[in-house]
Structure 1
Amino acid sequence: MKKKVAFVCVHNSCRSQMAEGWAKKLGSHVLEVYSAGTEAYPELKPGAVKVMEEAGVDMSGQYPKLLTEIPQELDILITMGCNVVCPFVPNNHSEDWGLDDPSGGPIEGFRETRDLIKAKVEDLIHKVEKGEI
């Protein structure tokens, strides 16, 4: 059975969306993937979409969602480094990845964040496959 995972940050427009994209591309065999934010935001950050496209990940079907739009019970909750009180959704395992938001910075910052998130998603998938989570 797939594990329900949600990647959560404030606006659900950049880091959590990149994590959703990677998890869907790399881990759909073991993960049911969601992402959400604590505050409404109108669109994905163009820099996030651009750098994910560079890596072969299509995020065109993704959009910012609020916590109320995802399942309210999860197997895994990943917060991205909120800089505020991180949200809580009932879960069996949670981690805070503490990633800086590249929004407003140069495109290279988005690329660095994309690659960090990919490595963390790969590690998460590996732990789920091994039954550690």
Structure 2
Amino acid sequence: MTQTKAESAAQPGARSWLSRTLQKLTADDRTVEAQELRSDAAIAGCSAVSACRKGQVVTVTGRIKSVVYTPRETVPTLEAELFDGSGSVTLVWLGRRRIPGIEPGRRLTARGRFAAFEGRQVIYNPWYELSAG
């Protein structure tokens, strides 16, 4: 038995697809990017930054929003803000001035112990994997 468009649209799954499509068409770019990043994280089995707690070893994935080199008197640091759609975490590499491929706009997956420093969420010296494209 075949269904008409009206019958299939009356099904709950069809409504959610239609409302998701309409929402995506009317949403601003940041909202769409955040939704895509949250979806990518869920598919990859990564934790959402907003769900991470201090002391946990976590794997997060997202897009690098900014990269800052901070020369310090003791140890230079390279900091990258990683946004996953639910929140941001600062990835901090101690003793590094530059890491090839760590640049704004790049997608990456990072693993390490989640911490808090000066009111920021951070992961120090994370293992990381750059995504293609």
TM-score (norm 2): 0.23
> Which structure shows the bigger proportion of residues in helix conformation?
1
> Which structure shows the bigger proportion of residues in strand conformation?
2
Find the structure with the greater CA-based Rg: 2
**Relative contact order, higher structure (CA 8 A, sep 6+):** 1
